[in-house]
Structure 1
Amino acid sequence: MRTYPNKFIAIISVLLIACFLISGCSSSQDNSGSKAGSKSKDSRVIQHEDGKTTVTGTPKRVVVLELSFLDAVYNLGITPVGIADDNKKDMIQKLVGSSIDYTSVGTRSEPNLEVISSLKPDLIIADAERHKNIYKQLKQIAPTVELKSREATYDETMDSFKTISKALNKEKEGKEKLADHTKVINGLKAELPKDENRSIVLGVARADSFQLHTSSSYDGEIFSMLGFTHAVKSDNAYQEVSLEQLSKIDPDILFISANEGKTIVDEWKKNPLWKNLKAVKNGQIYDADRDIWTRFRGIKSSETSAKDVLKKVYNK
């Protein structure tokens, strides 16, 4: 039998030990270089409208494709790197209350996938209705969750906030924000007179149409939370009406959110039916900022809308 020098055996032993050490290190790390045990512990499976998405760690580079998602993310202490802002920087400033540094990724209806990809996001938050057709492309760029926003109810919007809190690894902060929000809404509700029983509704005036937001609309739910009686109870959130139909509903208080320029109300004001509305005769017609009342949604805008009602109706 052939014998090997002690020096050779020693070299082989050292090499074998080195191989075991390298193998051990490799098995304890994932492809990104982080410890596998750590990654598993810090990963969360997020259930959303289009399935499940695994998010790891605390996302820092977030892209939001709806305004309510911006409200949520910003309220949780994160400024998104990309926002679908409809190319309106002033609208974003109005929502968050200050000028922030971000990149526009285009419109909410058609976000620019190339720009989104260039931002190298670690989380994308998309709308379940607007963006369902590009979800596959979005999730190839980064982990993506699709939530309700555009046609969401108040409760669904709050549920989306909870999901976003979990995705951002900020569940504790999210619960605190929701608790504070509930206190604000309840405090505003307490300011209404105990005997308030007037009917109220918001209408959106366009050039050739007038659309009432019913009891099941987002702002309709806010009216109800405050304790008002809604003038139009319906499972359908929106209802187009003529002046004749509006005169039959005849709300005590009418908020109007109008498009820029002339609207159908400018013509209605010449009609006796308009002049005979209770809200008109009693001076209970109020303007409603369309961004805040119908576009933004979310915690901040809900509180702003509720405060707007008290300020205008009761001078509080």
Structure 2
Amino acid sequence: MKNILFALAIIFSANINAKTITDDYGRVVEVPEHITKIYAASPPLAMSILAFNPDLVAGLNSSFNETQKKYAGSAYNKPIVGGFMGQGNTPNFEILASVKPDVIIMWARMRGYEKILAKFEKMGIPVLLVENESIYSIITQFELFAKLTGDTARADELIAYTKKSLSLIESLKEELSKQKEVRYYFAQGLDGLSSECEGSFHLEPFKYAGAKNALDCRMSSNYGMEKISMESVILSNPDVIVAMEKTFTDTLLQNPQWKNLRAVKEGKVFTVPSTPFNYISRPPSFMRLLGIIWLIDSFYPSLLEKSFEDEKKEFEALFFPQLKESK
């Protein structure tokens, strides 16, 4: 391991053609002038690179499945490096050394990031700390990729769509004022008894969809997936249930504890789409932009001028141009 670190340090320190980038935490970092490979230390950031340009992906946090293959494009067969994915996961440094990324990006709010940052820096690979506190951070990430690669045209079109999606609920404010506010329960896990509390960034799409969390709870960690008692769900009696697992929604009517909830009785139970990637979370990615539109369409039918299917086609054409190549 020490030999690998030493060898990489020589390789990267020998890079004469360099430029400086100021990251989101004010660190001035020297990076190569010509960047073709970026490694992201956590899935949300890796997804942002995928959206910007799959060719830039140096290594993966986890593998794609067969359904995701055409969406992943050239990133599909990249080596599995691992990364920060919660619950103590860390990258594989030997594999990272073998893929030789030009730069690493990582979120500074991940627990234990300081130790990993020190290891990355010993390898001689420049590291940029980026913000990932909200959906809006996607904009600054795309701006960063433009600075690193010079591809401002790609950044501009992705940023324009991002701003449009995030401002959608504001444009619908007058129409929404005539609607009853929707109270939701976000059901995670096979039993539906894991959820998110106020302050969790996993709930951001719901905020941009103009809905209110029916639960009154507090988050205990950034990872989320808080355990919720059935009694708390019954007392909250949400207007709608948004579930992450189809297995859970398929069994609701057979479960006496769930079937008497208002949302179940009225048929207002929605399963989050997950093709090619989850629209809401796990990981919380650029797919949330489409997730916001899906939520508005689910909560307030006929409120949007464009059909959801048309919106989905526009989204996929923009974020997955590699789909054309796979046909």
CA shift at 1:225, angstroms?
Answer: 1.4
Query: Is 2:283 aligned against 1:296?
Result: yes
Please give the alpha-carbon distance, in whole angstroms, between the structure 1 residues aligned to 2:119 and 2:201.
30
Give deviations 1:84-118, integer Å, cap 9, x for gaps.
Answer: 33233447547x46464542233332322122211
Q: TM-score, normalised by structure 1?
A: 0.70
Q: Which residue of 1 aligns with 2:210?
A: 227
Going from structure 1 to structure 2, the CA distance change for 1:232 and 1:53 (only over 3 Å counts) comes to: farther
Going from structure 1 to structure 2, the CA distance change for 1:115 and 1:57 (only over 3 Å counts) comes to: same
| Match among 198, 203, 208 for residue 187 of structure 2 | 203
CA shift at 1:248, angstroms?
Answer: 1.0
State the secondary structure of the residue aligned to 1:82. coil
Please give the alpha-carbon distance, in whole angstroms, between the structure 2 residues aligned to 1:187 and 1:153.
16
Q: Which residue of 2 aligns with 1:153?
A: 134
State the secondary structure of the residue aligned to 1:63. strand
Query: Is 2:68 aligned against 1:105?
Result: no
Please give the alpha-carbon distance, in whole angstroms, between the structure 2 residues aligned to 1:93 and 1:50.
37
Give deviations 1:270-294, integer Å, cap 9, x for gaps.
Answer: 22x4222111111111111465121
Please give the alpha-carbon distance, in whole angstroms, between the structure 2 residues aligned to 1:311 and 1:294.
18
| Match among 220, 224, 230 for residue 243 of structure 1 | 230
Give deviations 1:215-266, integer Å, cap 9, x for gaps.
Answer: 43334222221222332366637442111101111111110112x86x6995
Give deviations 1:19-52, integer Å, cap 9, x for gaps.
Answer: xxxxxxxxxxx96565xxxx5xxx2233245954
Please give the alpha-carbon distance, in whole angstroms, between the structure 2 residues aligned to 1:81 and 1:180.
22
State the secondary structure of the residue aligned to 1:307. helix
By relative contact order (CA 8 Å, sep 6+), the higher-ranking structure is 2
Please give the alpha-carbon distance, in whole angstroms, between the structure 2 residues aligned to 1:158 and 1:231.
30
Q: Which residue of 1 aligns with 2:55?
A: 79
Going from structure 1 to structure 2, the CA distance change for 1:85 and 1:45 (only over 3 Å counts) comes to: closer
Query: Is 2:244 aligned against 1:257?
Result: yes
Q: TM-score, normalised by structure 2?
A: 0.68
Q: Which residue of 2 aligns with 1:16?
A: none
Whether the 8 Å contact between 1:210 and 1:264 is mirrored in structure 2 is no
Query: Is 2:253 aligned against 1:277?
Result: no
Larger radius of gyration: 1
Q: Which runs of 5+ in 1 are unaligned?
A: 1-29
Q: Which runs of 5+ in 2 are unaligned?
A: 1-12, 84-88, 308-327
Q: How many residues align?
A: 272
Whether the 8 Å contact between 1:82 and 1:105 is mirrored in structure 2 is no
Please tell me the residue identity of whatever aligns with 1:64.
Answer: A
Q: Which residue of 2 aligns with 1:59?
A: 35
CA shift at 1:203, angstroms?
Answer: 1.9
State the secondary structure of the residue aligned to 1:296. coil
Give deviations 1:185-233, integer Å, cap 9, x for gaps.
Answer: 43476568532312123221245x7122234333422222122233236
Please give the alpha-carbon distance, in whole angstroms, between the structure 2 residues aligned to 1:130 and 1:88.
25
Going from structure 1 to structure 2, the CA distance change for 1:164 and 1:68 (only over 3 Å counts) comes to: farther
Please give the alpha-carbon distance, in whole angstroms, between the structure 2 residues aligned to 1:87 and 1:97.
10
